[in-house]
Amino acid sequence: MNEAKYDAFLNIFSHSPYTLSSSPTYSASTLSRFLSSFDFNPLPQIQSLVCQLLTKLSSSHRAFLIADTTLLRKTGSRIEGVKKLYDPYSRRVIPAHRALIIVLWTNGLRIPPYVELLHEVKPVDTLILALRKLLPPLKKLFPNLVFLCNAGLTCNRLLEFLLSEEVDFVCAISQGRVDEESKEKLRDLWFPRPEKVKLKGVSKPLYAYRVGEGSDEERVVVSNKALSKKRFEDLYRHRWQVEVEIKVLKAHGLESYMVRKLRAIRLWIMAVWHVVLLRFRSKLEGIDFRKYLLSLVFPPIVVELIEVVEFVQDVAGQCLRYSPFPDNRLVLFLLRNLIGGGSCYAKV
């Protein structure tokens, strides 16, 4: 599959991934064969786009790199890699895939520089490998970078890695962890102010503090910096941005894949990821996303013609709605087929 075909494939996500089954060009079975048979890796295109977006962001503001995992609900024995995983939100075990999402949040702008499907690998191992690639360029662009994550990803190896990379972090940890010096569990310590704790396997003492006291969101967080109570809570509150971005990715079809092979699933996820990045790019450039997406495939004159045709279609539809013809739905159907269908970009 060449890049031109991949760009055309991206257009199916510009409206809704659920239109695939009724599209005259991409049916569910055709798409499954389409994604499973070719040898094409769109990751270099995505990485290039991420680099372009990062250079457009202001480095004067504090930036947050936030990591989290999410479950992609899937049922069916024919879909590869589906496992029974615990869902903390529904508090039950569900069949799903697990994906790792890393989000950069700065100055009110949110960009996902890393999205990966996890299969037979620990999330923290994938996270450390991703951070090895992301942290060096990001620290150059954003000197005030802070890493955030929840207790599900925080472990001794991750904390030791962050210390070795000399990056500031605020991470929630399991309250069952024991302070090596006092031999007490962290959940039994009150932490009225940030206090130093020594965790097993971590070379340097960390500052610990309890946030969200008395609520369902109560957490013990650790950092390499001595911060005030309010600062600890303010920084950790930014972790919610990764949850917002996960919802955005799922709204664009992150877990709506109808393919079965792991390679095809990964390629589907990359396509959704790519479209979310393109939407963010169009937002930065102040242009209409749909027009921008069409411009990737068609020359400017064709894009202008499409806009004119759609305008005529809308006017005709409004006029026919109030026309005296007994069955104006038939007339409107014929008109739409005459000008190329109800969606001018569904057949790209």
Render pLDDT for 238-285 as a digit per residue (tens, 0 to 9): 999 999 999 999 988 888 887 888 888 898 899 889 889 988 988 888
Whether residue 214 is predicted with pLDDT greater than 80 in this model: the reply is: no
Q: What is the pLDDT of residue 317?
A: 65
The token pair that represents 31 in the structure block: 């798409």
Eight-class DSSP state of 16: -
Tens of pLDDT, residue by residue over 149-199, are 998 899 989 999 999 999 999 999 887 788 877 788 877 776 777 788 888
Q: What is the pLDDT of residue 36?
A: 65
pTM of the model: 0.80
Whole-Å CA distances, 65 to 70, 136, 223, 242, 339: 16, 13, 14, 9, 47
Q: pLDDT band for position 348 (50/70/90)? A: very low
Residue 242, number of CB atoms within 10 A of its CB? 26
Provide the greatest CA pair distance for the chain. Answer: 86
Q: Is 197 exposed, middle or buried (0-12, 13-18, 19+ CB in 10 A)?
A: buried
Q: Kindly report the CA angle at 192 between 187 and 197, in degrees rounded to 5?
A: 55
Name the average pLDDT for the chain: 80
Residue 28, number of CB atoms within 10 A of its CB? 12
Q: Is 288 exposed, middle or buried (0-12, 13-18, 19+ CB in 10 A)?
A: exposed
Asked if 236 contacts 148 with a C-beta cutoff of 8 angstroms, the reply is yes
The architecture CATH gives domain 3-285: Alpha-Beta Complex (3.90)
Whether residue 82 is predicted with pLDDT greater than 80 in this model: the reply is: yes
CA distance 293 to 267: 19
Whether residue 78 is predicted with pLDDT greater than 90 in this model: the reply is: no
CA distance 186 to 23: 56
Tens of pLDDT, residue by residue over 12-24, are 555 444 333 334 3
The token pair that represents 315 in the structure block: 């006017």
Whether residue 321 is predicted with pLDDT greater than 70 in this model: the reply is: no
Q: Kindly report the CA angle at 264 between 17 and 75, in degrees rounded to 5?
A: 70
CA distance 134 to 130: 6
Using a CB cutoff of 8 Å and minimum separation of 24, what contacts does 49-55 make?
49/274, 49/277, 49/278, 49/281, 50/111, 50/113, 50/277, 51/137, 52/281, 53/111, 53/277, 53/280, 53/281, 53/284, 54/104, 54/111, 54/113, 54/137, 54/138, 54/141, 55/141
| % residues pLDDT > 70 (the chain) | 77
Q: What is the pLDDT of residue 342?
A: 47
Q: Is 295 left (phi over 0), alpha (psi -120 to 50) or beta?
A: alpha
Domain coordinates of the chain in residue numbers?
3-285, 298-338
